[in-house]
Amino acid sequence: MKTTERKLLKKHIVLTAFITLLIVSCSDKKKSYKTQNKEQNKWINFEWSGDSIGNRYFDKAFITIPFSIEGIPHKFQSQFDLGAPSTMVYGNVIHPYLEKYLDVAKKLDTINKTNRVQSKKVGAFKNINFKLDTVLFKNQHLVHFDKYGAVLTKDSVETKTIKHIGTIGANLFQNKYLIIDFPNHRIAIKDSLNTNDIEKTSFVDVKLDKGRIKVPVTINGNVKYFMFDTGASLFPLSVTKEDVKLISNINVANDTLNISTWGEYYDVHGYKITSEVFIGDYKIETKNLNVYDSKKEFKQFFEKENVLGIMGNAFFFNKKIIIDYKNNRFGIVN
């Protein structure tokens, strides 16, 4: 074979190898995207957790989801709370695990505190992998809420008890479709909706602010915005004491609960809902449901967020809802 021919053959082999490598690389990326997409579309199971408030027991006090962190071979659970902008772990709970699993501890950045929780600057784990139930979330930013949560000892790390480690916030669902199937105790995160989902769902346009969803609720013909918060399971609606009269014409409370927010306890009072309540064209069943007043400090928060109050899960215990973070919509599946 002539020298020139040998050179041409080498060039051909190199070029063919490069093209093959490029095709394989693109194919791998495509497979990776499809795998990740398929992974995200899986159902994530949740559980209703009960709690005693005063002398009463509520079987749907809050929602928890199985939570695991890559590199820590222990089972955890976290509260599903769309009122929280960020997904976080509690410092007191995770601390003894970090002492044992140093590779995870190395991912914690406590110097660049770019996040805030309850007006406190906090650090975060960078590029960390974790799972909600069996669904993997890669290279995530996981906020570290220092000095919060139940204090664990080194011995308790070895027990098989599932520890409550943190909060699952709204950041994981941005630019996605979040389906919450309350009757079947599961959620799904999707990149697209099928035709059946769209046709069966009554959507309303909402406001999206820092990941928080603000839903227009029509009360006696007047539209008021409420922040939808899955962390407020017990309360259909929660407003300031002054605004209770917009929803109830009853002056005497029929319920009093001593509840806590981030460890602070206070009383709230319930008044029977007497107004008609709609979300878009969908009439909400309010029989035997209350509107609750909030502590005075919440007034400033409501005004800052431009909402009348907070809407919890109680309206939807028997419903499937879709939160469209791509197009800023809230839907109830008929």
As to burial, measured by CB atoms within 10 angstroms (0-12 exposed, 13-18 middle, 19+ buried), residue 129 is middle
| CATH code for the structural domain at 44-173 | 2.40.70
Task: Classify the phi-psi angles of 110: left when phi > 0, otherwise alpha if psi is within -120 to 50, otherwise beta.
Answer: alpha
pLDDT of residue 97: 96
DSSP 6-67: HHHHHHHHHHHHHHHHHHHHHHHHHHHHHHHHHHHTSEEE-EEEEEEETTEEEEEEEEEEEE
pLDDT of residue 33: 43
Q: Which of 68, 184, 81, 64 is nearest to 136 (CA)?
A: 68
pLDDT of residue 314: 94
Q: Is 91 helix (H, G, I), strand (E, B) or coil?
A: helix
As to burial, measured by CB atoms within 10 angstroms (0-12 exposed, 13-18 middle, 19+ buried), residue 307 is buried
Q: How many CB atoms lie within 10 A of CB 209?
A: 13
pLDDT of residue 41: 67
Domain residue ranges of the chain, discontinuous segments joined by +: 44-173, 193-333
Return the percent helix, strand and coil in the chain, to nearest 5: 25, 40, 35
pLDDT of residue 210: 83
Find all residues with CB under 8 Å of 249, minimum gap 6, and list them: 274, 275
pLDDT of residue 193: 93
Residues 55-88 as b/e (b if ≥16 CB within 10 A, e otherwise) read: eeeeeebbbbbbbbbebbebebbbbbbbbbbbbb
Which residue stretches of the chain have pLDDT < 70?
1-41, 262
pLDDT of residue 40: 54
Find all residues with CB under 8 Å of 12, minimum gap 6, and list them: none
> What is the rounded CA–CA span in Å between residue 223 and residue 156?
50
Tell me which fold the domain 193-333 belongs to. Cathepsin D, subunit A; domain 1 (2.40.70)
Q: What is the tens place of the pLDDT at every residue in 134-150? A: 999 999 999 999 999 99
C-alpha radius of gyration, the chain, whole number? 24
pLDDT of residue 38: 55
> What is the rounded CA–CA span in Å between residue 148 and residue 91?
6
pLDDT of residue 129: 98
- 193-333 shares the fold of 44-173: yes
Q: How many residues does the chain have?
A: 334
